[in-house]
Structure 1
Amino acid sequence: MDLAGRVVVVTGGAGGIGAALARRFATEGAHAVVIADLDGDAAARITAEIGPTALGRDVDVTDPAQVRALVADVEQRYGRIDLFCANAGITTGVGLDASDADWDRAWRVNLLAHVHAARAVLPGMLDRGGGYLLQTCSAAGLLTAVGDAPYTVTKHGAVAFAEWLAVTYGDRGIRVSALCPQGVDTRMLHDGLAAAHPGALITAASGPVLSPEQVAQAVVDGLADERFLILPHPEVAGYVRRKAADPDGWLAGMRRAAGRLPGVPRQPAG
Structure 2
Amino acid sequence: MNVAQRVAIVTGGGGGIGGALVARLAHEGARVVVADLDAGTARAVSESVNADHPGSTVSAGADASDTAQIEQLIALAESAFGPVDLYFANAGIAGAPGLEVSEQDWDLSIDVNLRAHIRAARLLVPRWLERGEGYFVSTASAAGLLTQIGSATYSVTKHAAVGFAEWLSVTYGDRGVHVSCLCPMGVDTRMLSLGKDSGDALGKAAAQAVISAGDVLEPAEVADAVLAAIEDERFLILPHEDVLDMYRQKGSDYDRWLRGMRRYQNSLLAQA
TM-score, structure 2 as length reference? 0.94
**Which position in structure 2 is the counterpart of 1:199?**
206
**Which position in structure 2 is the counterpart of 1:190?**
193
Distance 2:270 2:264 in 1: 12
Distance 2:29 2:68 in 1: 30
Cα-to-partner distance string for 1:171-214 (whole Å, 9 max, x where unaligned) = 11000000000000000001101115122110011110000011
Task: Give the secondary-structure state (helix, strand or coil) at the position aligned to 2:93.
Answer: coil
For residue 96 of structure 1, the aligned residue among 80, 99, 106 is 99
| Alignment of structure 1 residues 36-75 onto 2, 5 Å | 36-51=35-50, 52-75=55-78
- CA drift of 1:75 comes to 2.3
Residue 232, structure 1, aligned to residue 231, structure 2: no
- CA drift of 1:28 comes to 1.0
Q: Does the 8 A contact of 1:178 with 1:228 survive in 2?
A: yes
Task: Give the secondary-structure state (helix, strand or coil) at the position aligned to 2:35.
Answer: strand
Q: Does the 8 A contact of 2:11 with 2:88 survive in 1?
A: yes
Consecutive aligned runs of 4 or more in structure 1 exceeding 4 Å deviation:
none
Q: Does the 8 A contact of 2:43 with 2:59 survive in 1?
A: yes
Distance 2:98 2:44 in 1: 35
Task: Give the secondary-structure state (helix, strand or coil) at the position aligned to 1:217.
Answer: helix
**Which position in structure 2 is the counterpart of 1:131?**
134
Distance 1:79 1:172 in 2: 21
Residue 241, structure 1, aligned to residue 248, structure 2: yes
Runs of 5+ unmatched residues, structure 2:
none
- CA drift of 1:103 comes to 0.5
- CA drift of 1:77 comes to 3.2
Task: Give the secondary-structure state (helix, strand or coil) at the position aligned to 2:239.
Answer: coil
Cα-to-partner distance string for 1:130-189 (whole Å, 9 max, x where unaligned) = 000000000000000001000000000000000000011101100000000000000000
- CA drift of 1:127 comes to 1.3
Please tell me the residue identity of whatever aligns with 1:91: A
**Which position in structure 1 is the counterpart of 2:2?**
2
Residue 11, structure 1, aligned to residue 3, structure 2: no
Aligned pairs, number: 263
- CA drift of 1:5 comes to 1.1
- CA drift of 1:263 comes to 8.3
**Which position in structure 2 is the counterpart of 1:267?**
none
For residue 176 of structure 1, the aligned residue among 173, 176, 179 is 179
Percent identical across equivalent pairs? 51
TM-score, structure 1 as length reference? 0.95
Task: Give the secondary-structure state (helix, strand or coil) at the position aligned to 2:231.
Answer: helix
